[in-house]
Homo-oligomer: A and B are copies of this chain.
Amino acid sequence: MSIQTRKERERAQREKLIITAARELAEAEGWEAVTTRRLAEEVEYSQPVLYSHFKGKDAIMTAVALEGIADLAEELRAARMAAPAPADILAAVGSAYVAFADRRPALYDAMFNQIVDLPFATPESPAPLRAAFDEVVRAVSPHADGADPGLLAETFWAALHGLIMLMRGGRIPREYHDRRLALLLARFSR
C-alpha cells in the first residue's frame, strides 16, 4: 500500500514538473522552443516519458493553459476586490486582464489562442475556467442594461482578446493601447 502510494505521489510530482517546465520554457523562449526533446531534457527524462503522462504535446499545452486560467481567475478576483468603488470594477478587471496577457504572452497564447481541447462555456468546464469567466460576468453585470450578462461578458471578453491579439501581431500600434482600452470601457459602461 505504502509503496504504491509513494509511486503515485512521485508520478504526480513528475507530471507537475513537466507542466511547470513546459510553462517556464514557453514563457522564456516562446512555444516554438517547446519541443518534446527539449522538454524531456529539461525534466531530465527521456522523450517517451512525456507520453506516459500526456497523450501528446497538445495535452501538455492544455495542462499549462489550465494552470494559467487559474492564475488569471485569481488576478481578476484580486482586481475586483481592490477596486475602490463598484463603478471602477469594469475598468479594474479589464486592465487586469490586459496586464496578464501582456505580462505572460506565451501562457495567454496557450489559454486563448492555441487549439486546446478544454470544454469552454459548458457546465463541465473546469472550475478555474468558470471562475475566471464569472469574474468577467460580475464586472459587466452592472452595465448590462437589460441584456444577458453572460452574452455581454463574452462580448466584452472578445473585445479585450481582440485588442490583445491584434496588438501582439503588430496589426495595431501598441502606443495607443490605453486610449483604445478607455474607448472600449466607455462603450461598455452604462
- Chain A residues with CB under 8 Å of chain B are 112-113, 115, 120-121, 147-148, 151-152, 154-155, 157-163, 165-166, 169-173, 176, 179-180, 183-184, 187-188
Provide 23 A-B residue pairs closer than 8 Å at the C-beta atoms, listed in order of the A residue. Answer: A112-B169, A113-B113, A115-B169, A120-B170, A147-B183, A148-B179, A151-B179, A154-B166, A154-B172, A154-B180, A155-B163, A155-B183, A155-B187, A157-B162, A158-B165, A158-B172, A159-B162, A161-B162, A161-B166, A162-B162, A162-B165, A165-B165, A187-B188
Contacts of A160 in B (CB 8 A): 162
Contacts of A172 in B (CB 8 A): 120-121, 154, 157-158
Which residues on the B side are within 8 Å of A155 (C-beta)? 159, 163, 180, 183-184, 187
Give 10 closest A-B pairs by Cβ, nearest first: A162-B162, A158-B162, A159-B159, A161-B162, A158-B163, A187-B187, A120-B171, A154-B172, A155-B180, A155-B183
User: A176 contacts which chain B residues (CB < 8 A)?
Assistant: 151, 154
Query: With the chains together, A59 CA to B180 CA distance in Å?
Result: 30
Q: Contacts of A112 on B, CB cut-off 8 Å?
A: 166, 169, 171
Measured between alpha carbons, how far is A159 from B185 in the docked complex, in Å? 12
Roughly how many angstroms separate A121 CA and B183 CA in the complex, as a whole number? 18
Residues on B with beta carbons closer than 8 Å to the beta carbon of A165: 113, 158, 161-162, 165
